[in-house]
Amino acid sequence: MKGEKAAGEAGVIRVLDELVRNQIAAGEVIERPASVVKELVENAVDAGAHRIRVDLEEGGMRLVRVTDDGGGMGTADLERAFVPHATSKLCDAADLDHIASLGFRGEALASIGSVARCAIFSRRGGEELGGRIENEGGRLTRAVEAGGPGGTCVEARDLFFNTPARRRFLKRPSTELARCTDVLQRAALGQLGIGFVLTHDGARVLDVEPEMDLRSRVRRAFGADLASSLEEVEARDGTTRLRGLVAPPRFARRDSSRQMWFLNGRPLRDRVLLRCLKDAYRGFVLDGRQPVAFLHLAMDPGAVDVNVHPAKAEVRFRDGRRLFGFLVNALREGAGKTDMATPGASMLAAAAGGSPSAPGQGAIADPGPMPRGRRACEPLIVREVAEAQPLTDLPAFGPDGAATLVEPADDLAGPYLTIARTYVARAVPDGFEIVDQHALHERVTYEELLADARGGSVAVQRYLVPELVELSAAQVDLLVRQAPALGRIGIQLEAFGATTVAVGGLPARLRNPDPEELVRVALRVLEDQREAPAAEELLEDVLHSAACRSSAMAGDVLDPAEIRSLLERARAFDGARTCPHGRPTRVRFTLADLERAFGRR
Ligand code: ADP
Ligand code: MG
């Protein structure tokens, strides 16, 4: 046969050269900028970093730079870092049974170096000088001495510059950025204790301080509405421990992108875990929707095999069945504690459509399963209508004293129906809407204050006698240093001795503000941030936490003129700017919604 004849010659099977081998390996782990971010961030975590900074340009396609303050590498290690299968995290095959680090294959840097223009600077903590090494698509330089901060900085520029076929698969910068952001959000939610900063083309995208707990991190990544609605879960089974936060069913989404599992800090997408959540929320969320949860699983590394998936996103549990039962129970209990929406409320959510509190939550076509749990015993709508003001009051609320119940001539005119001293219902041309007067007031106050602050003129209510607030010396120091920024949003204060501040005035737009409360909230915001926060950010946080207490609109009975004035003030801002973290201020029911609700469609 022909083959036999060829056997004595050169043969057709060749051993590929190293660059091609690395590029093939890169095909498995490095698909796009987000994979570079993931690998480099994992290395920084493994290096014991306390703070990790990621800078991107053009969605990471032009530049991914990851800087950490971890242990760093000496020159000898630097020269090995780009070598395939060179790792400091594994010695022999037995180590594969109990992997505690995020990396272990020694492939990432070699792969990235083969498809990008890379450079590493690194300095060990105790050493005076660090080193620098470059790898341009597989062309490696020798390490040279270089000065710089302790830790490591890895740069990968022009990803796939030497593999055009791969480069063509990359998407627009905004799409690639979104994927990188997702990686970093997951890292920030998974690695409690580590601070993360992400910038894109110089603008800050995410900023999480090392001390922030899981809830604060969710808040930074996904907003206050979700963060404040989460319930904690905590359970233990032998050495397996589950801790985390689960969201009420109303946050459920079409995709599982807000379902985050971490196993010993490693983000993972595992079908078994996804099914646990699905089971735990059965009956609470509509079919096809995915509950939102952020869950940390701590396990003995020996009880799980992480070496089954190229990106290490899937794992194999040694005792899957027992784990499953344990998790479903714990999660079901957690889910049951969340604020379960009644069918009425989920219909309202559907009517509100793109309400700012539920990004990505589309219309819910069907009212959903009958709710279970404690709150279901008190149907929201029925109870509150029962507490409504007597109907006989209504006619007087008409625009001209006449009883106009539908189709008001003036679009802000009543009648208004106040429900439970909190909600105001009124007809609109194509249906009706319900306004949360408290939320709307908070929003209006915030927007007006923000406009004032931007215009440089916040009206201040000065105190005749300053209010004194006792604090620690460090807190006083921080507040005094930020006094100009606070002044710009109408909080006037000065030191009054080493451990006291005197509050001289507060924004006049706040109703009955509590000076101590406001100072403490401002302090929390300032302590959360290293640099001086923007007036907007300070305002948002201060108002969201404090104004809602001090403005005290829920429970106030407003007369029709006050309601009208509130709606008028709100009109100035509607559509112009939606508060990204705010809860909805109003839900609208169109005729179409009513027809659907009553089965006419
Ligand atoms: P792995 O993480 O699987 O070991 P990598 O190719 O990602 O493989 O990294 C190779 C080695 O380079 C690591 O084992 C580690 O010793 C070193 N290294 C990589 N990044 C860093 C970093 N940011 N700080 C300190 N050492 C690092
Ligand atoms: Mg690695």
Question: What local confidence, expressed as pLDDT, does residue 117 receive?
Answer: 97
| CB of residue 44 inside a 6 A radius of ligand 1 | yes
567 falls in which pLDDT band (50, 70, 90)? Answer: confident
R_g of the chain, CA atoms, integer Å: 29
Locate tokens 């303050």: which residue? 69
Q: Which residues contact 9 (CB under 8 A, 6 or more apart)?
A: none
Q: Which long-range contacts (CB under 8 A, 24 or more apart) does 203-211 make?
A: 205/177, 205/181, 206/181, 207/529, 209/528, 209/529, 209/530, 210/50, 210/51
Highest mean pLDDT, choosing among 21-30, 122-131, 471-480: 122-131
Residues 419 and 451 in one domain: yes
Write the residue with the smallest CA distance to atom 9 of ligand 1. Answer: 106
If asked whether residues 46 and 133 sit together in one domain, one would say yes
Q: Is 360 inside a domain boundary? A: no
Domain membership flag for residue 109? yes
Query: pLDDT band at residue 135, thresholds of 50, 70 and 90?
Result: very high
> Do 387 and 462 fall into the same domain?
yes
2 in a structural domain:
no
Residue with CA nearest ligand 1 atom 7: 108
CA of 77 to the centre of ligand 1 (A): 9
Residue 591 in any domain: the answer is no
Confidence tier at 301 by pLDDT (50, 70, 90): confident
CB of residue 67 inside a 6 A radius of ligand 1? no
CB of 89 sitting under 6 A from ligand 1: yes
Looking at residues 30-39, what average pLDDT do you find? Answer: 94
Least confident of 197-211, 263-277, 342-356, 488-502: 342-356
Centre of ligand 2 from the C-alpha of residue 204, in Å? 25
Most confident segment among 235-249, 347-361, 365-379: 235-249
In this structure, which residue's CA is closest to atom 12 in ligand 1? 81
55 falls in which pLDDT band (50, 70, 90)? very high
198 & 263 share domain: no
* Cα 297 versus chain centre, distance: 19
The pLDDT, as a whole number, for residue 39 is 94
Tokens 């991914």 sit on residue: 64
Q: Of 219-228, 232-241, 449-458, 587-596, which has the strongest mean pLDDT?
A: 232-241
- CA triple 84-89-90, angle to 5 deg: 80
Q: Is the shortest distance between the CB of 74 and ligand 1 below 6 Å?
A: no
In this model, does residue 395 exceed pLDDT 70?
Answer: no
- Is there an atom of ligand 1 within 6 Å of 68 CB? yes
Instruction: Give me the DSSP letters along 469-488.
Output: EE--HHHHHHHHHTHHHHHH
Pocket flag, ligand 1, residue 80 (CB < 6 Å): no
* Average pLDDT of every residue of the chain: 78
Q: Is the CB–ligand 1 distance for residue 81 below 6 Å?
A: yes
Residue that terminates a domain, selected from 288, 320, 337: 337
Distance from the alpha carbon of residue 87 to the mean position of ligand 1, in angstroms = 6
CA dist., res. 397 & res. 432, Å (int): 16
The CA 35 to ligand 2 mean position distance, Å, reads 11
The pLDDT assigned to 547 comes to 52
Q: Last residue of a domain, which of 153, 179, 208? A: 208
Tens of pLDDT, residue by residue over 247-257, are: 988 788 888 88
What percentage of the chain carries pLDDT values higher than 90? 34
Question: Is 345 a domain residue?
Answer: no
Which residue has better confidence, 206 or 340?
206
Residue 11 inside a domain? The answer is no
**Burial readout 99-125 (b: 16 or more C-beta within 10 A, e: otherwise):** bebbbbbbbbbbbbbbbbbbbbbbbbe
42 CA distance to ligand 2 middle (Å)? 6
Task: Report the pLDDT averaged over residues 387-404.
Answer: 35
Domains of the chain: total? 3
22/143 same-domain check? yes
Distance of alpha carbon 130 from alpha carbon 73, whole angstroms: 8
Q: How confident is the model at residue 59 (pLDDT cuts 50, 70, 90)?
A: very high
Cis status of the peptide bond prior to 560, with omega within 30 of 0: no
pTM assigned to the model: 0.59
Can you give the pLDDT at residue 573?
66
Closest residue by CA, ligand 1 atom 1: 106
Which of 172, 190, 208 is the C-terminal boundary of a domain? 208
Q: Tell me which of 60-69, 74-83, 431-440 is least confident.
A: 431-440
Domain range spanning residue 574? 365-395+413-583
Note the pLDDT of residue 370. Answer: 32
Nearest CA to ligand 1 atom 19: 43
User: In this model, does residue 536 exceed pLDDT 80?
Assistant: no
Backbone phi and psi for residue 485, each to the nearest 5 degrees, phi listed first: -65, -40
Segment among 198-212, 227-241, 543-557 with least mean pLDDT: 543-557
Average pLDDT over residues 199-218: 95
**Percent of the chain scoring above 70 in pLDDT:** 76
In single-letter form, the type of residue at position 459 comes to A
| CB of 566 sitting under 6 A from ligand 1 | no
Q: Does the Cβ of 258 fall within 6 Å of ligand 1? A: no
Residues 153, 65 within the same domain: yes
The amino acid at residue 64 is V
Both 192 and 161 in one domain: the answer is yes
Residue-wise pLDDT tens digits, 398-446: 333 333 344 444 677 778 888 888 888 988 777 788 888 877 777 777 7
Q: What is the pLDDT of residues 369-378, one digit of tens each?
A: 333 332 222 2
| 116 against 25, higher pLDDT | 116
CA 586 distance to own-chain centroid = 24
Asked if the model's pLDDT at residue 529 lies above 70, the reply is no
Looking from the CA of residue 109, the nearest atom of ligand 1 is 6
How far apart CA 121 and CA 68 sit, in angstroms, is 11
Q: Is residue 347 part of a domain?
A: no
Please state the atom number of ligand 1 nearest to the C-alpha of residue 154.
Answer: 23
Same domain, 370 and 491: yes
Who's near 321: CB < 8 A, 6+ residues apart? Answer: none
**From the CB of 102, is ligand 1 less than 6 Å away?**
no
Distance 539 CA to ligand 2 centre (A): 40
CB neighbours of 515 closer than 8 A, spacing ≥ 6?
463, 467, 469, 503, 506
Q: Is the pLDDT of residue 201 over 70?
A: yes
- State the Cα angle at 390 between 385 and 396, rounded to 5°: 125
Query: Does residue 390 lie in a domain region?
Result: yes
Phi-psi map region of 288: left, alpha, beta (phi>0 left; psi -120 to 50 alpha): left
Ligand 1 proximity of 368 Cβ (cutoff 6 Å): no
419 and 277 within one domain: no
b/e burial code for range 505-522 (CB count within 10 A of at least 16 → b): bbbebbeebebebbbbbb
pLDDT above 60 for 4: no
> Ligand 2 centre and the CA of 83: distance in Å?
12
- In this predicted structure, the answer to whether residue 206 has a pLDDT above a threshold of 80 is yes
135 CB near ligand 1 (under 6 Å):
no
Q: What 3-state DSSP class applies to 567?
A: helix
What does DSSP assign to residue 398? Answer: S
Within this chain, do residues 534 and 438 fall inside the same structural domain, yes or no?
yes
Q: Which residue has the higher pLDDT, 4 or 30?
A: 30
pLDDT tens by residue, 468-507? 999 888 889 888 988 888 888 888 999 988 889 999 998 8
* Nearest protein CA to atom 25 of ligand 1, as residue: 72
β-pairing, 293-298 vs 259-263, is parallel
Higher model confidence: residue 367 or residue 345?
345
112 Cβ closer than 6 Å to some ligand 1 atom: no
| Amino acid 340: pLDDT | 61
Our answer on whether the CB atom of 69 is closer than 6 Å to any ligand 1 atom is no
Least confident of 254-258, 328-332, 383-387, 516-520: 383-387
Neighbour count for residue 141 (Cβ, 10 Å): 13
pLDDT of 173 reads 93
CATH code of the domain containing 451 = 3.30.1370.100
Of 89, 90, 44, 93, the residue nearest 65 (C-alpha): 44
* Most informative mutation of 46, 80, 115, 154 for ligand 1 (most atoms within 8 A of CB): 46
Residue 235's CATH number: 3.30.230.10
Say yes or no: 130 and 274 in one domain. no
Task: Report whether residue 43 contacts ligand 1, using a CB cutoff of 6 Å.
Answer: yes
What is the rounded distance in angstroms from the CA atom of residue 85 to the CA atom of residue 99? 16
Question: Are 230 and 118 members of one domain?
Answer: no
List Cα–Cα distances, 104 to 93, 306, 327, 363, in angstroms: 11, 10, 28, 44
Answer whether residue 266 shows pLDDT above 50: yes
